[in-house]
């Protein structure tokens, strides 16, 4: 055997040489091994006796010889060149070796041709698996997106559904606390009221944590009154502090500006969480809230810093280590429970507002939590500044300018209708109620109103459609530009589409904050 034959025998692929009549002149060891034949058996025999080629393969042999150029045969188009079986239950799932065959005419050799056969089973399997993996990944992505959408819709609906009964629970507890009660009755009513707010905070934490997981937690900067935000937030916790005999104090540096450009609602949320924790964990002594301001220069932005100091039990070094992680709760002698999400969410919010939260504490020495926020870039587009599709004129009042308003409340919850009727009635306003969109449309068609407060998810005719019809004059010109206030368990910015596009002037979130309701009434009275 010459050196050329030895080299071909060592090749990891099959090689055949055939004459002008397709008689086999040479077969290397790869072919002999795969076919289970000896070289003596093959040399001189016809190619058809070796592999019984298909008409397509024979046609390619003729073309290669006639045109004098190489031809490549693929498994998919031409079938097997050599029928080489694979072991039963081969990992590839194929019954025969997948092959790529090349036919090369040999120049000046009386129509002789070299035929090489390469095993491409692993390549085909890899490509097949890759395509299946791509299909699986695409299917998984679609399932994840569908799950994400379903989770978002579920959380939105569950928030609305929970907030509707919470509206009655907290609202009627507030009304009850305004009546003459003995000591035991007042304690019961206060417990109902505080428990309602605890449940409400739980719902808010779960929704915010879900937004953080999905990367959808957003801030919406606009100018807000710093001192008003601080005083209003702290005022919520003064009753709890007073009951415990804890002195709750507030101080604001003179340099703090009147207005600050940042998300005022999120600023209040962070401060409320820190003040709530301080009051909750402090059994004696004081809780102090101090607000400072640092003027920015160059690329350094203006900054607010709020420090909340307490004389509570303090936090151990072990407790400090994971304090801002999700679901972390501190040990306390009394059974104080929560979601363990408050500080985690607060840090996320502060970082979105260009700041952070830090803590200084020792066991038995109290704690000081400090959070900072930076002034937002004035170029950030707030959803409040987005241009609506259609600009509606300001709301107008009826001709008589008394302080008593004629109000229509539309909600499919009888409890909410009665609650709003009681809250507005005790302020001297005239209130009608409707339980669905069609009933509301009938009321609007009968007489004019100064204010319509409507749930957005109404039976028969949604609040959106009702508002659209009203603005188009479907219920008479007398109500066309009436003040409209949406009512929902969602925040205004979480509602799909802009409420302004439908002609709403105000938004109240369930459970109704009496202060926010009073602001709506004041705005309508002063119109």
Domains along the sequence of the chain with CATH: 3-119 (3.30.450.20), 144-217 (1.10.287.130), 223-381 (3.30.565.10), 386-525 (3.40.50.2300)
The mean-pLDDT minimum among 20-34, 219-233, 473-487, 513-527 falls in 513-527
Q: Is residue 389 over pLDDT 80?
A: no
Mean residue pLDDT of the chain comes to 83
pLDDT at residue number 496: 57
**Which tens digits make up the pLDDT trace of 343-376?**
888 999 999 999 999 999 988 889 999 999 999 8
pLDDT at residue number 336: 47
d(CA 169, CA 523): 27
d(CA 211, CA 217): 5
Confidence of residue 379 (pLDDT cuts 50, 70, 90): very low
With contact defined as beta carbons under 8 Å apart, do 473 and 442 qualify?
A: no
pLDDT at residue number 401: 58
Alpha-carbon separation of residue 446 from 63, 417, 455, 479, 524 (angstroms): 91, 19, 20, 10, 21
pLDDT at residue number 432: 95
d(CA 405, CA 392): 22
d(CA 263, CA 265): 6
The tokens describing 19, both together, are 């004459």
d(CA 350, CA 386): 24
Confidence of residue 32 (pLDDT cuts 50, 70, 90): very high
| Stronger pLDDT, 178 or 14, i.e. the higher one | 14
Confidence of residue 260 (pLDDT cuts 50, 70, 90): very high
The tokens describing 498, both together, are 């802009």
Q: Is residue 493 over pLDDT 60?
A: yes
**Which tens digits make up the pLDDT trace of 439-475?**
999 999 999 999 999 998 888 888 899 999 998 999 9
pLDDT at residue number 368: 95
| Stronger pLDDT, 391 or 125, i.e. the higher one | 125
The tokens describing 168, both together, are 């009655």
pLDDT at residue number 156: 66
Confidence of residue 382 (pLDDT cuts 50, 70, 90): very low
Q: Is residue 207 over pLDDT 90?
A: no
**Which tens digits make up the pLDDT trace of 299-342?**
778 999 999 999 999 988 888 887 888 666 655 544 445 556 78
Name the percent of the chain lying above pLDDT 70. Answer: 88
d(CA 193, CA 374): 35
Burial of 110 (0-12, 13-18, 19+ CB in 10 A): exposed
d(CA 508, CA 494): 13
Average pLDDT, stretch 383-388?
37
The mean-pLDDT minimum among 13-22, 104-113, 272-281, 283-292 falls in 104-113
| Stronger pLDDT, 138 or 337, i.e. the higher one | 138
Q: Is residue 209 over pLDDT 80?
A: no
pTM: 0.53
d(CA 173, CA 167): 10
pLDDT at residue number 339: 58
With contact defined as beta carbons under 8 Å apart, do 472 and 494 qualify?
A: no
């Amino acid at each position: 055997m010459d050196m050329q034959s030895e080299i071909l025998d060592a090749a990891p692929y099959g090689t055949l040489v055939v004459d002008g009549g397709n008689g086999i002149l040479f077969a290397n060891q790869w072919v002999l091994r795969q076919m289970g034949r000896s070289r003596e058996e093959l040399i001189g025999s016809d190619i058809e006796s070796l592999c019984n080629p298909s008409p397509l393969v024979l046609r390619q042999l003729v073309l290669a010889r006639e045109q004098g150029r190489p031809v490549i045969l693929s498994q998919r188009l031409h079938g097997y060149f050599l029928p080489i079986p694979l072991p039963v239950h081969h990992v590839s799932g194929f019954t025969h070796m997948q092959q790529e065959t090349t036919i090369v005419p040999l120049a000046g050799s009386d129509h002789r041709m070299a035929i090489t056969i390469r095993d491409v089973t692993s390549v085909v399997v890899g490509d097949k698996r890759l395509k299946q993996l791509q299909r699986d990944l695409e299917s998984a992505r679609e399932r994840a997106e569908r799950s994400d959408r379903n989770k978002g819709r579920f959380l939105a609906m569950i928030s609305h559904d929970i907030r509707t009964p919470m509206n009655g629970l907290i609202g009627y507890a507030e009304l009850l606390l305004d009546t003459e009660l003995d000591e035991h009755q007042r304690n019961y009513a206060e417990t109902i009221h505080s428990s309602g707010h605890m449940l409400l905070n739980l719902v808010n934490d779960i929704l915010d944590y879900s937004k953080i997981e999905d990367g959808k937690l957003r801030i919406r900067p606009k100018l807000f009154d710093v001192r008003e935000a601080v005083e209003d937030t702290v005022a919520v916790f003064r009753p709890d502090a007073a009951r415990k005999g804890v002195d709750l104090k507030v101080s604001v540096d003179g340099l703090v500006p009147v207005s600050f450009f940042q998300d005022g609602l999120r600023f209040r949320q962070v401060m409320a969480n820190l003040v709530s924790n301080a009051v909750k964990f402090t059994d004696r002594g004081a809780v102090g809230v101090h607000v400072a301001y640092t003027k920015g220069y160059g690329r350094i932005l203006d900054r607010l810093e709020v420090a909340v100091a307490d004389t509570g039990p303090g936090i151990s070094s072990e407790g400090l280590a994971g304090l801002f992680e999700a679901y972390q709760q501190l040990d306390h002698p009394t059974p104080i429970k929560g979601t363990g999400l408050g500080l985690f969410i607060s840090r996320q919010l502060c970082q979105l507002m260009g700041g952070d939260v830090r803590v200084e504490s020792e066991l038995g020495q109290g704690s000081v939590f400090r959070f900072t926020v930076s002034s937002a870039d004035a170029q950030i587009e707030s959803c409040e500044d987005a241009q609506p599709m259609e600009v509606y004129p300001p709301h107008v009042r009826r001709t008589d300018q008394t302080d008593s308003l004629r109000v229509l409340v539309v909600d499919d919850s009888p409890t909410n209708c009665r609650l709003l009727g009681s809250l507005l009635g005790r302020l001297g306003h005239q209130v009608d109620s409707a339980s669905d969109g069609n009933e509301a449309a009938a009321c609007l068609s009968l007489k004019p109103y100064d204010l319509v407060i409507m749930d957005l998810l109404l039976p028969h005719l949604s609040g959106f459609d009702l508002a659209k019809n009203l603005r188009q004059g479907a219920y008479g010109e007398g109500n066309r530009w009436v003040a409209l206030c949406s009512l929902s368990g969602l925040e205004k910015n979480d509602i799909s589409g802009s409420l302004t596009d439908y002609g709403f002037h105000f938004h109240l979130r369930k459970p109704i904050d009496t202060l926010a309701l009073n602001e709506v009434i004041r705005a309508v009275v002063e119109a």
